[in-house]
A = this chain, B = another copy of it.
């Protein structure tokens, strides 16, 4: 079948069909919007630092063409007379906390890892597990690799944690975990593994819209996210997975990684339960507990890190972008690890605290696991 790389704006309002975005062979992209009565239309996209003016053409169609874009997944929105709106020509949208944004993929490079390709596909399951420690049932997203259902073998497990404002939908939707794992496994670059995307907000049953709270506006301001409670109750997640899946139930088969707050959780879980994970990934990680927090989880950080060193691990992977607001904290943490003689691999990228980076980090981290 032909690869379709154009979008047609719906014809609900009597206009002609408008294609937007139109991805061209030279990796430029043209956006179009029918807005005959608008005075000013701009486009904002994550490939450019500021919004750009769209030009009004025939029949009230505004347009904008990018320069050549590097292969990646991009997000954008229109701003019509000061009001942000989605592209009615593009049905592909992803929610990030309380913002819903149109997306598109430019192929020919890393973007191809984020596409669904003609490869064997893993299974994505949304189910609920009992959390006595949090006194609720909680929703969890689980990727099992191609062949899981029909094989009898045990698979290693990557616990993949979201950041503040995220939930059990974040990595699968924004992170393109399914596509990245399917593609890396098909290329022989990553071992077949189970990926567990739990909800790191212990006050939540489930992602916004998926819980008994109904449809409400998602927020980053949730209690108990970085006060030790998530770390304390995390063994329930591991127990659930190892009781319900053919998982390698020892350190050699366990990895934990997360972004931002999820990096914080990965750091503290991996040292607080020091003989549990052989692979640790901190993606743009928050590092330092709040001074006011008194949880036992954060009581003896150096002591537990030393225990982690003694017990051993195979990979401690730290990644951050040069302009990330957490850069300095991560640099200080690395200095501390250097001083303690705790080995790690450091990956410094361009850019900041973005899903653009976290997708890259997952693409680079997964191939290092369980080898």
Contact = CB atoms under 8 A, between A and B. Distances in A.
A22 to B, nearest CB: 11
Interface in A89-137: 89-93, 95, 98-100, 103-105, 115-118, 120-121, 123-128, 137
Interface of A: 1, 3-8, 10, 12-13, 33-39, 80-86, 88-93, 95, 98-100, 103-105, 115-118, 120-121, 123-128, 137, 139, 149, 206, 208-218, 244
A91 B82 contact: no
Given A91-B217, A93-B93, A86 B83 contact: no
B105 A214 contact: yes
A168 B172 CA distance: 18
B85 A210 contact: no
A239 B7 CA distance: 36
A41 B119 CA distance: 47
A215 B149 contact: no
Contacts of A123: 125-128
Contacts of A100: 86, 91, 93
Contacts of A6: 216-217
B127 A126 contact: no
Contact of A117 (B5, B7, B121, B212): B212
Given A93-B93, A123-B127, A127-B149, A212 B84 contact: no
A225 B102 CA distance: 29
Contacts of A81: 35, 37-38, 81
A217 B8 contact: yes
Contacts of A85: 80, 83, 85-86, 88
Contacts of A209: 91-92, 116
A136 to B, nearest CB: 9
Given A7-B216, A215-B103, A216-B4, A208 B91 contact: yes
A342 B82 CA distance: 61
21 contacts: A3-B214, A5-B215, A8-B217, A10-B217, A13-B83, A13-B84, A33-B83, A35-B82, A37-B39, A38-B81, A85-B85, A85-B88, A91-B99, A91-B218, A93-B93, A93-B100, A116-B210, A116-B214, A121-B139, A124-B127, A125-B125
Nearest to A100: B91
Nearest to A139: B121
A208 B7 CA distance: 11
Nearest to A216: B4
